[in-house]
Amino acid sequence: MLARYWLLSALTLLLVHTGFSQSLDRYTIIPRPAKLDPRAGQFILSRTTTLLIPPGQADLKAVADTFARQLNRATGVSLTVRLSNRMAVPGNIIQFIPARDTSLGTEGYRIDITDKLVTVEASRASGFFYGIQTLRQLLPPAALAPTRQLPDSGLTNLAIPACRIEDRPRYVYRGLHLDVSRHFFSVSFIKQYIDLMALHKINTFHWHLTDDQGWRIEIKKYPKLTQVGANRRETLVGHYDEYDPQVFDGKPYGGFYTQDEVRDVVRYAAARFVTVVPEIEMPGHALAALSAYPELACAPGPYSAATKWGVFDEVFCPTEKTFSFLQDVLTEVIGLFPSKYIHIGGDECPKVSWKNSAFCQQLMKREKLKNENELQSYFIRRIDKFVTSKGRRIIGWDEILEGGLSPNATVMSWRGVKGGIEAARQQHDVVMTPGGFCYFDHYQGDPAQEPTAFGGNLPLSQVYSYNPTPTELSPAEAKHILGVQGNVWTEYIPDVDQLQYMIWPRAAALAEVAWSPLEGKNYDDFSRRIPSLFARLSSVKTNYARTVYDAVPVSRATADGRVAVSLKPDKRLANVTDIRYTIDGSIPSAESPVLKDSVLLAQTATVRTAAFAGRTPLSQLAKVQKEFLVSKATGKSYTLQYPAATGRPDKNLSLTDGNTVGMGGYEVAGIVSFAGDFGLTVDLGQSQPVQGVRVGFLKYTAKNICLPRQIEVSVSDDGQTYRPATTVKTNAQENGKRTIVRLPVDFAQTSARYVRIVARSIGTVPADMRNPGKPAQLGVDEVEIR
């Protein structure tokens, strides 16, 4: 069934995408060009290939030289770059010709490829550069490698498939962000990051350099920013609410970029037509700066860089001393970054310290400001005036709209699309970056199978589905949508390997959203190109997530007391032919059975699944697994003695369906919660021997969900008269890591049709927990009866 589905999808793809219908696998460019006409034949790169450029084109020569060096490093083919007439040059030729018309704009290009000649046309060096990135993607993945991988015998495979391409971007702003405050990343990695951005025609690197957890850029006038503010004494372990009390690693953490390193990165990016936009956070997210210069706060301090994540009340105080400090900082930043935009943050600024500050309240009266939101607007307007005086423009998160927006400001809309729509209607330029489509720190698959992430779920298909231009806007308003940006916040991303895993392939999907025409987007076609993307990423030694191949098992209880396991319906890649599975604990292989419709479990088992293309594994084979519980309670009806809470209600007898919950981020999916005690009565259908129960309870005291103090079990033959089976004290250990605790309760074997289980709440959260004295809840997973 599943194999036929994928075959049908592939057939539909062939019929619909006639422009790519000839040998589709030859053209795996991401982002997809605006227009591509396939041709038979191919151009073979060899040691006799020459790059021809017209004289007097220094920028173009630099682009061509870089292309030649990259190919030589990866393949050993030393291409010659010449300023000469191609008729006088032996061998095949790649020629670069300035376009005579203006239809391509500043970043567009044309490519014409035959077996003897490749012609690249563009009106600007940037257009030639993007044309070359397309050629690089048309070559075998080995041609992208940082060091030579091909032997001389492999050089005959350096083929570029023949075609004609005409291409230009949909949006002028195509961004990728990186937070280096929460976790720091080296200059060498930043350069690799920029390389992959450029390969996918992403043209803006948003460098988030300061936050509560660390100040990461050298400022000569204020050396304590890096001497003190760049360092935190330790870092939170696990997710924010994973442990109660929270656990810290006890290890000092720091790092910053010198101004020379910043200049190096900016030059490196410029050579790849990537603009670096620095972000200096204000007025909130300022703890690292205040740890170095506490006099900039409204209260005397002392302060220290944050050791955990979140939003903190300590922010810059809008004094003249603060504005002098920030202007000095921005002066040095502007001297390092030639970008049009300087990002000043503006998000998540609590107003508590301003409300409690006599100075701020007097300032509000003097400036006739109605509230603290208008005080934030006053703050932003002053910074905007200063940045504008330096010939630059500010850009900030959509909170800068609050209290009135500075006239020159550009808005990054991250809290959904509302802020972007509002700003565009006020004639402000906008970069769309809503969390629901653009936050790569969110999970991309089943949280139970994924590394720790912030929360939420953003699968590849959802990224690809995004249209940055809201349909609510008029054509005139829509012109203010400059483009789109992917954001990578690193609270839970401590190293390069995990960072790359979180970014790729989602950044490639967003690159296509930003570049390709809206009418040309098609996820099935995009998925056809993903295997080539993965091969290219492997060639450049970059990690990536294969979550798109994950086949997540789900279940339903059957009338005869078994569990039917099938696959969660989702948008996987079109080259998957089979999903194979095991239930004996082994890793799926090409010999494992194919999961077609469903598999029936007659006893508790852990199901592992993996995607295959024929006999070739596509998944991370040891990754996807889930336990399903089968007991005498499975599929049986029950009644609740106490109503479930509305926030986590009971759905479709979910406590006896055999399906265990998964945990990730801030949420626990599938838990049923109760404000006080929990009780249910299971009808086994007929009288039978029973000798124990087991109930899964959630221990999550950071959210006031505690284990029960006592469990009572009683049984009945008629559902009217119950006799006690046992009562046990749980003696539960509440502190520690969030988890599901499956509490077993045994009793002497007896015969019964009805089994009643009552769990008594401890009443209030214990004194040594995060929220002592708060009403305790019970969170219940699955109920088993033996």
Same domain for 504 and 432?
yes
> What residue type is 248 in one-letter code?
F
> What does DSSP assign to residue 732?
-
**Distance (Å, whole) CA 239 – CA 236:** 8
Q: What is the pLDDT of residue 155?
A: 59
52 in the same domain as 85: yes
What percent helix, strand, coil does the chain show, rounded to 5? 30, 30, 45
764 DSSP 8-state letter: B
Would you name the residues annotated as active-site residues? 348
- Angle between helices 58-75 and 125-138 in degrees, nearest 10: 20
| pLDDT, average across residues 74-102 | 83
Cα-Cα-Cα-Cα dihedral of 105, 109, 112, 115, to 10°?
160
Using the predicted structure, report yes or no on whether residue 2 has a pLDDT greater than 90.
no
In a domain, 362, yes or no: no
Kindly give, in sequence order, each residue whose CB lies less than 8 Å from that of residue 453, ignoring residues fewer than 6 positions away: 441, 442, 443, 444, 447, 492, 502, 664, 665
Looking at 596, 628, 660, the residue that finishes a domain is 628
CA distances from 113 to 77, 162, 520, 576 (A): 19, 5, 22, 32
In this predicted structure, the answer to whether residue 547 has a pLDDT above a threshold of 90 is yes
pLDDT score at 9:
33
What percent of the chain has a predicted confidence (pLDDT) above 90? 83
Q: Which residue has the tokens 């570049």?
A: 515
Choose the final residue of a domain: 628, 656, 672: 628
Q: Which domain holds residue 589?
A: 547-628
Of 79-93, 254-268, 630-644, 719-733, the range with the lowest mean pLDDT is 79-93
Q: Residue 184's CB: how many other CB atoms inside 10 A? A: 19
Q: DSSP character for 527?
A: H
Q: What is the CATH number of the domain that holds 97?
A: 3.30.379.10
User: pLDDT value at position 365?
Assistant: 97
Asked if the model's pLDDT at residue 321 lies above 60, the reply is: yes
Separation in Å, CA 477 to CA 170, 422, 432, 438, 471 = 16, 10, 14, 22, 10
pLDDT digits (tens, 9 = 90+) for 256-291: 999 999 999 999 999 999 999 999 999 999 999 999
pLDDT of residue 85: 60
**The pLDDT value given to residue 14:** 34
Nearest 10 degrees: Cα torsion 720, 726, 731, 733: -60
> Contact 164/112 with Cβ under 8 angstroms?
yes
Task: Give the mean model confidence (pLDDT) for residues 436-441.
Answer: 98
Q: Which pLDDT band holds residue 16 (cuts at 50, 70, 90)?
A: very low
Which residues have a Cβ under 8 Å from the Cβ of 527 and sit 6 or more positions away? 548, 572, 573, 574, 575
- The residue-averaged pLDDT of 447-452 equals 90
> Confidence band (pLDDT; 50, 70, 90) for 13?
very low
| Six token digits for residue 614 | 């024929």
Average pLDDT of 632-654?
92
- Give the residue ranges of DSSP H helices in 458-522: 460-464, 475-478, 496-503, 506-515
Domain count, the chain: 4
pLDDT in tens, 29-67: 999 999 999 999 999 998 889 999 999 899 999 999 999
pLDDT at residue 505, rounded to an integer: 98
Assess if residue 384 is contained within a domain. Answer: no
Please tell me the predicted confidence (pLDDT) of residue 576.
87
How confident is the model at residue 569, as a pLDDT?
A: 74
pLDDT higher than 60, residue 602: yes
Query: Maximum CA pair distance of the chain?
Result: 103
Residue 589 to residues 586, 616, 631, Cα–Cα distance (Å):
9, 9, 29
- pLDDT value, residue 662: 82
> Is residue 539 in a domain?
no
Supply the DSSP symbol for 619.
S
Q: Are residue 666 and residue 591 in the same domain, yes or no?
A: no
- Determine phi and psi for 148, rounding to 5 degrees: -65, 130
Given a contact cutoff of 8 angstroms between Cβ atoms, the answer to whether 212 and 307 are in contact is no
- Cα 180 from Cα 177, distance rounded (Å): 10
With bands split at pLDDT 50, 70 and 90, how would you rate the model's confidence at 22?
very low
- Integer Cα distance of 470 and 206 in angstroms: 23
674 and 764 together in one domain:
yes
Q: What is the pLDDT of residue 87?
A: 56
pLDDT of residue 572: 65
141 with 268, same domain: the answer is: no
Q: pLDDT at residue 639 above 80?
A: yes
Closest CA to 223 of 332, 145, 324: 332
The three-class DSSP label of residue 529 is helix
CB 604 within 8 A of CB 562: no
Residue 129 and residue 250 in one domain = no
Distance CA 410, CA 426 (A): 11
More confident residue, 255 or 735: 255
- Please enumerate in sequence order all residues whose Cβ is within 8 A of that of 293, keeping only pairs 6 or more positions apart, or say none: 222, 224, 225, 325
Over residues 491-501, mean pLDDT: 98
What pLDDT sits at residue 150?
66
Instruction: List strand residue ranges (DSSP E) for 363-473, in order.
Output: 393-397, 410-413, 430-432
Instruction: Quote the CA–CA distance of 452 and 35 in Å, as a whole number.
Output: 40
| 235 and 158 belong to one structural domain | no
Residue 389: DSSP 8-state? H
Residue 50: strand pairing partners: 80, 93
Q: Are residues 435 and 556 in the same domain?
A: no
Q: Which long-range contacts (CB under 8 A, 24 or more apart) does 647-653 make?
A: 647/673, 648/672, 648/673, 648/779, 653/557
Helix boundaries (H) for 555-647: none
Asked if residue 84 has pLDDT above 90, the reply is no
> Looking at residue 315, which CATH number applies to its domain?
3.20.20.80
Within a domain: 15: no
Across the range 656-685, mean pLDDT stands at: 90
In a domain, 721, yes or no: yes
Q: Report yes or no on 213 lying in a domain.
A: yes
Q: What is the mean pLDDT of residues 305-310?
A: 97
* 10 pLDDT more than 60: no
Question: How much is the pLDDT for 7?
Answer: 33
Find the CATH number of the domain harbouring 729: 2.60.120.260
Say yes or no: 217 and 158 in one domain: no
Q: Are both 555 and 688 inside the same structural domain? A: no
Q: What is the pLDDT of residues 150-179, one digit of tens each?
A: 666 555 679 999 999 999 999 999 999 999
Better pLDDT: 664 or 127 = 127
Q: Is the CB of residue 334 less than 8 Å from the CB of residue 266?
A: no
Instruction: Output the pLDDT for position 277.
Output: 98
Chain Cα centroid distance, residue 415: 15
The residue-averaged pLDDT of 648-663 equals 90
The predicted structure's pLDDT at residue 744: 95
Q: What is the mean pLDDT of residues 720-729?
A: 96
The CA distance from 746 to 744, in Å, is: 6
Alpha carbon distance 271, 129 (integer Å): 10
Mean pLDDT of 772-779: 95
Which one-letter DSSP state was computed for residue 20? G
Phi, psi of 298 (to 5 degrees): -80, -20
Query: What does DSSP assign to residue 56?
Result: T
Which of 152, 167, 182 finishes a domain? 167
pLDDT band at 89 (very low <50, low <70, confident <90, very high): low
One domain, residues 659 and 726: yes
Q: Does residue 267 form part of some domain?
A: yes
The C-alpha atoms of residue 409 and residue 397 are separated, in whole angstroms, by: 10
Q: How confident is the model over 756-760, as a mean pLDDT?
A: 98
How sure is the predictor about 4, in pLDDT bands with cuts at 50, 70 and 90? Answer: very low
CATH number at residue 582: 2.60.40
Is 494 within the bounds of a domain?
yes
Average pLDDT over residues 383-403: 94
User: Residue 378: what pLDDT?
Assistant: 95
What integer is the mean pLDDT of 362-372? Answer: 96
Read off the pLDDT of each residue in 597-602 and give the average, rounded to a whole number: 93
Residue 431, pLDDT score: 98
Tokens 């070739």 belong to residue: 616
Look at 144-148, 483-487, 542-546 and tell me which has the smallest mean pLDDT: 144-148
Element (H, E) at 137: helix 125-138
* Claim to verify: residue 484 and residue 587 sit in the same structural domain: no
Q: Is the pLDDT of residue 421 over 90?
A: yes
pTM for this prediction = 0.93
* Alpha-carbon span 607 to 598, nearest angstrom: 12
- What's the confidence (pLDDT) of residue 575? 80
